[in-house]
Amino acid sequence: MANVETKPVIHEEDLLIEEYGYDDHFHEHHHGDKYQSNFITTYIFSQDHKMIAKQFLITGMFWAIIGAAMSLVFRLQLGFPEENMAWIKPLLGKWITVNEAGVGSLAPEFYYALVTMHGTILVFFVLTAGLSGTFSNLLIPLQVGARDMASPFLNMLSYWFFFLSGTIMFLSLFLNTGPFAGGWTAYPPLSALPQASSGSGAGMTMWLVSLVFFVVSVLLGGINYITTVLNLRTKGMTMWRMPLTIWAFFVTAILGLLSFPVLVSAFLLVMFDRGLGTSFFLSEIFIGGQALDHVGGSPVLYQHLFWFLGHPEVYIIILPAMGLVSEVLSVHSRKPIFGYKAMVYSILAIGFLSFIVWAHHMFMSGVNPFISNFFVIFTLIIAVPSAVKVFNWIATLYGGNIRFTAASLFAIGFVSMFISGGLTGIFLGNSAIDIQLHDTYFVVAHFHIVMGVAAFFGMFAGIYNWYPKMFSRFMNETLGKIHFWGTIIGAYAVFWPMHYLGMAGVPRRYYRFDSFAAFGQFDAMNQFITIAAIVTFGFQILFVINFFYSIWKGKKMTTRNPWGATTLEWTTPINPGHGNWPGKLPTVQRWAYDYGKDGKEFIPQIQPLGKDEKEGH
Amino acid sequence: MNATVARTDYRRSKIHPKKFALLVACASMMMMFAAFTSAYIVRQAAGNWLEFRMPDLFYFSTGVILLSSLSLHSSYLAFKRGNTRVYRLLLSATLVLGLAFVVLQYQGWQALADIGVELTTNPSGSFVYVISGVHAAHVLGGIAALILAMLHAFLLHHRVTPARKLRFELTLIYWHFVDFLWVYLLLFFTLQ
């Protein structure tokens, strides 16, 4: 061993980039990176999109653990309302009330706070910032062949506004009156009257401030993503050569940019109602025996504004997951994605339709039934592009030489979840059936499967697949597979039974059901759901351990392109610095899905077309 | 700002990424005001709506902000021509006009209160206050950019470098945007 000479390893990618690449004189003005020179600028106020991606991911994981732990507490209440909860008093303090017999129970107002925070945290902090923030940041510059985002500085601000937003929300958990408890949708009057409930005072104020900062973060990120995709693609990277991940992030950013400002307008009007006595959303109200000054406001107006964001928001959550899954499925089944252009057009169609279906969240709010018809039709039309995507994923898998890695298992699991959850969406999109099903556990089951669990599956697929690019090491595959099977079985065990509860009319957001004789028969089912939720949470802890252990102790990445993928991010060095490619920028010669073409397993995008070779599509 | 961002000289698209990013941001801000004005329409249709005439001051302020756009644009042209005196003069005029606009808006709000339309009187008035107030906040952002532009104009030598031209163009685009936005809002209030 001692005599082995170490030859300098020559990478084929480097030769290709050197021969065909575009020289942007990166080195001439790159005398040391003054933006990445010490600990603070490298790890904290970093302007490198790869580091910002990791910051988003780890902050998102922190929030995911908190949000999921909250769900366990209220699941305990729902499954075992009679049990003694005094043991959790050291953590929750006065929110657990202990009676003379020493039996502790969860305070009802805190139950509502937990439900509200669970929704807010998961929707905004985990599945928007943690998912789209992580992977848009990591993959957009790497896959379009850019040195960094259009404005690395705004990109850094985007993360720190998210951090600020999270800090404010976190502090609101420790308020004496508790965090906001009026539901994640924050409908007035609970959100607009500080005296409406204990969480509507300081809790709601902090909730509003936190989410305004969050919107700033989303907008700063989105402006960057759109500009980078449109302006900083490398030579040869035409729109039709972009991987589906980039298409998905691009449309996601457009949705966010057009819908989040509407939420800010709604929030501003709520703030005026709360603090300055206007009556945008407050009608004539008696509270505590007192008539308020407000006259003639419309709470339904808030719902319109909220859901004009709220519906695109669910696609902001699911589109990035769809993009990641498309890429992972194609790479791991060693086949081109089936129907690439149909996939792109479906993303665009879903993005467009998402703006004209918002009132399907309001069928039972007293909107005009004729208007409901309009929204029913467009809602059901979304099934078409969704079905196109599902068909294409399955067709991509069909006949593929599938590698069942943790990443591809989660991608396949995503397709399963998306089908299950999507089908129940067709029920709920119908305004007549919605009369029975609205605000029941059927709705809870539907959206948790289709945008909660499915989006998590997309995120896990992305993490397992791109972990080597982030940390130059692999996560443990065996633990990853255990994580997958535990999660998919667990998630179905949690959410499948909820459909039956919902069909029987069990309403969501109720603290306990013992005054309703009709729901007594579901006690055992509620216990089952709670136990399944606890077990599923345990598997996520396994994932967290695997994630952090692997950062330092995982198997080292020895080749640049461990999955044999075609896209540009795998042509960078194993541990890419700020700027991604050490020399020239790669140029793109072909589309992103040349797998199994001309007898080759895969052909990277930087490989020029051969003689007489036609570009595949 | 950062050396690692790829240079754009080979690209087909002529527009600078930062300029494009600003346009995207303008679209986003436009959505916020679209939300306000459509909420206005929906609320108006629900009845209990106080009708009133917009005070004349708002029309004066519109004239002022239109004039400021004109002077900023002329200042930009003078900057490109290398005419330092006109460039500095018109830039200062723009700042004065911009500040005058905000003052006139404030007096407009007082005039509204004088005719009995206070913030909490009726949603029709509340909308005018909130929408014009949020717009004024955006104008204040523009004024901050103008002050920065003034510092550049008076403290630096007048040289037309790509970086300074870009900086001026960004200020110009944003100022035109808040101007256009106010014209839209005033037409909306007048015609609704």
Transcribe B141-152 into DSSP letters.
Answer: HHHHHHHHHHHH
**Within an 8 Å CB–CB cutoff, is residue B138 touching chain A?**
no
Distance of alpha carbon A325 from alpha carbon A504, whole angstroms? 35
Search chain A and give the residue with CA nearest B120.
A278
Search chain A and give the residue with CA nearest B29.
A261
Classify residue A504: in a domain, yes or no: yes
Smallest Cα–Cα separation from A507: which of A432, A428, A442? A442
Classify residue A422: in a domain, yes or no: yes
Q: Which of A111-120, A234-243, A294-303, B77-86 has the lowest mean pLDDT?
A: A294-303
Classify residue B112: in a domain, yes or no: yes
> In the predicted model, is pLDDT for residue A1 greater than 70?
no
Residue in B28, B34, B123 nearest the CB of A257: B28
Q: How many CB pairs under 8 A join A and B?
A: 145
Query: Facing residues of B162 across strands?
Result: none
Burial of A341 (0-12, 13-18, 19+ CB in 10 A): exposed
| Residue A548 in tokens | 């952090």
| Residue B38 in tokens | 């459509």
DSSP A179-227: S--STTTT-TTTTT-TTSSGGGTHHHHHHHHHHHHHHHHHHHHHHHHHH
> In the predicted model, is pLDDT for residue A23 greater than 90?
no
DSSP for residue B14: -
Classify residue A532: in a domain, yes or no: yes
How many structural domains compose chain B?
1
Residue in A47, A219, A232 nearest the CB of B28: A219
Q: If you average pLDDT over residues A177-201, what whole number do you get?
A: 92
Residue in A150, A266, A276 nearest the CB of B119: A276
Cβ pair A47:B2 closer than 8 A = yes
Distance of alpha carbon B6 from alpha carbon A262, whole angstroms? 33
Mind listing the pLDDT tens digit for each residue in B117-135? 999 889 999 999 999 999 9
> In the predicted model, is pLDDT for residue A585 greater than 70?
yes
Residue in A35, A260, A272 nearest the CB of B130: A272
Classify residue A609: in a domain, yes or no: no
Q: If you average pLDDT over residues A155-181, what whole number do you get?
A: 96
* Distance in Å, alpha carbon of A279 to nearest chain B alpha carbon: 6
**CATH number of the domain encompassing residue B102:** 1.20.120.80
Q: Which of A35-44, A179-188, A226-235 has the lowest mean pLDDT?
A: A35-44
Residue A446's domain spans which residues?
A: 47-281+295-602
DSSP for residue A280: S
Selected residues 31-90 of chain B with any CB under 8 Å from a CB in chain A: 31-36, 39, 42-43, 46-48
Search chain B and give the residue with CA nearest A28.
B3
Cβ pair A231:B8 closer than 8 A = yes
Classify residue B5: in a domain, yes or no: no
| Residue A159 in tokens | 């993360």
Mind listing the pLDDT tens digit for each residue in A323-346? 999 999 999 999 999 999 999 999
Smallest Cα–Cα separation from A22: which of A611, A617, A591, A588? A588
> In the predicted model, is pLDDT for residue A27 greater than 70?
no
**Within an 8 Å CB–CB cutoff, is residue B134 touching chain A?**
yes
Confidence class for position A290, pLDDT limits 50, 70, 90:
confident
Smallest Cα–Cα separation from A411: which of A459, A347, A361, A352? A459
DSSP A38-105: SHIIIIIS---HHHHHHHHHHHHHHHHHHHHHHHHHHHHHHH-TTS--GGGHHHHGGGEEE-TTS-EE
Classify residue A111: in a domain, yes or no: yes
Which chain A residues are Cβ-neighbours of B32 within 8 angstroms? 261-262, 264-265
Which chain B residues are Cβ-neighbours of A35 within 8 angstroms? 2, 4
Distance of alpha carbon B81 from alpha carbon B103, whole angstroms? 33
Can you give the pLDDT at residue A603? 92
Cβ pair B32:A228 closer than 8 A = no
* Distance in Å, alpha carbon of A298 to nearest chain B alpha carbon: 7
Cβ pair B39:A280 closer than 8 A = yes
* Distance in Å, alpha carbon of B4 to nearest chain A alpha carbon: 6
> Rounded to 10 degrees, what is the CA torsion of A251, A257, A258, A260?
120
How many structural domains compose chain A?
1
Cβ pair B35:A232 closer than 8 A = no
Which chain A residues are Cβ-neighbours of B3 within 8 angstroms? 29-30, 33
Please give the sequence-ordered ranges of beta strands (E in DSSP) within A446-531, or none if there are none: 473-474
Distance of alpha carbon B54 from alpha carbon B151, whole angstroms? 37
Asked if residues A254 and A226 have their Cβ atoms less than 8 Å apart, the reply is yes
Distance of alpha carbon A81 from alpha carbon A494, whole angstroms? 18
Can you give the pLDDT at residue A617? 63
Residue B109's domain spans which residues?
A: 17-43+56-191
Can you give the pLDDT at residue A598? 82
Q: Which of A1-5, A424-428, A581-585 has the lowest mean pLDDT?
A: A1-5
Cβ pair A153:B1 closer than 8 A = yes
H helix count then E strand count, chain B: 5, 0
Classify residue B48: in a domain, yes or no: no
**Within an 8 Å CB–CB cutoff, is residue B137 touching chain A?**
no
Mind listing the pLDDT tens digit for each residue in A541-571? 999 999 999 999 999 999 999 999 999 999 9
Can you give the pLDDT at residue B3? 40
* Distance in Å, alpha carbon of A28 to nearest chain B alpha carbon: 10
**Within an 8 Å CB–CB cutoff, is residue B180 touching chain A?**
no
Cβ pair B20:A259 closer than 8 A = no
Smallest Cα–Cα separation from A566: which of A320, A238, A334? A334
Chosen for mutation from B24, B109, B173 (greatest number of chain A CBs closer than 10 Å) is B24
Distance of alpha carbon A201 from alpha carbon A501, whole angstroms? 33
Question: Parallel, antiparallel, or unpaired for β A600-602 and A595-597?
Answer: antiparallel
In this structure, what are the phi and psi dihedrals at residue A194, rounded to the nearest 5 degrees? -60, -25
Contact partners, residue A334, CB within 8 Å, separation at least 6:
A400, A401, A402, A403, A564, A595, A596, A601, A602
Mind listing the pLDDT tens digit for each residue in A502-555? 999 999 999 988 888 889 899 999 999 999 999 999 999 999 999 999 999 999
Residue A359 burial (CB count, 10 A): 24
Asked if residues A265 and B39 have their Cβ atoms less than 8 Å apart, the reply is yes
Which chain B residues are Cβ-neighbours of A26 within 8 angstroms? 4, 6
Confidence class for position A297, pLDDT limits 50, 70, 90:
confident
Can you give the pLDDT at residue A31? 46
| Residue A327 in tokens | 């890429």
Cβ pair B120:A277 closer than 8 A = yes
Asked if residues A18 and A584 have their Cβ atoms less than 8 Å apart, the reply is yes
Cβ pair A232:B5 closer than 8 A = yes
Asked if residues A279 and A273 have their Cβ atoms less than 8 Å apart, the reply is yes
**CATH number of the domain encompassing residue A141:** 1.20.210.10
Can you give the pLDDT at residue B114? 94
Give chain A's mean pLDDT. 92
Smallest Cα–Cα separation from A152: which of B3, B19, B117? B3
Burial of A125 (0-12, 13-18, 19+ CB in 10 A): buried
Classify residue B171: in a domain, yes or no: yes
Distance of alpha carbon A558 from alpha carbon A180, whole angstroms? 49
Cis peptide before B162 (omega within 30 of 0): no
Classify residue A9: in a domain, yes or no: no
Classify residue A612: in a domain, yes or no: no
Cβ pair B5:A150 closer than 8 A = yes
Can you give the pLDDT at residue B85? 94
Smallest Cα–Cα separation from A550: which of A478, A463, A476? A476
Cβ pair A223:B25 closer than 8 A = yes
In this structure, what are the phi and psi dihedrals at residue A392, rounded to the nearest 5 degrees? -65, -35
Distance of alpha carbon A540 from alpha carbon A498, whole angstroms? 21
> In the predicted model, is pLDDT for residue A85 greater than 50?
yes
| Residue B80 in tokens | 């490109």
Residue in B4, B7, B34 nearest the CB of A578: B4
Question: Parallel, antiparallel, or unpaired for β A290-291 and A286-287?
Answer: antiparallel
Chosen for mutation from B1, B4, B14, B120 (greatest number of chain A CBs closer than 10 Å) is B4
User: Where do we find the tokens 């005070």?
Assistant: B55
Across the 192 residues of chain B, what is the mean pLDDT of every consecutive 10-residue run? Answer: 43 77 95 95 89 93 97 96 94 97 97 93 93 97 96 92 93 97 95 83
Selected residues 9-28 of chain B with any CB under 8 Å from a CB in chain A: 10-11, 13, 15, 17-18, 20-21, 24-25, 27-28
Q: Which of A388-392, A571-575, B142-146 has the lowest mean pLDDT?
A: A571-575
pTM, two decimal places: 0.93
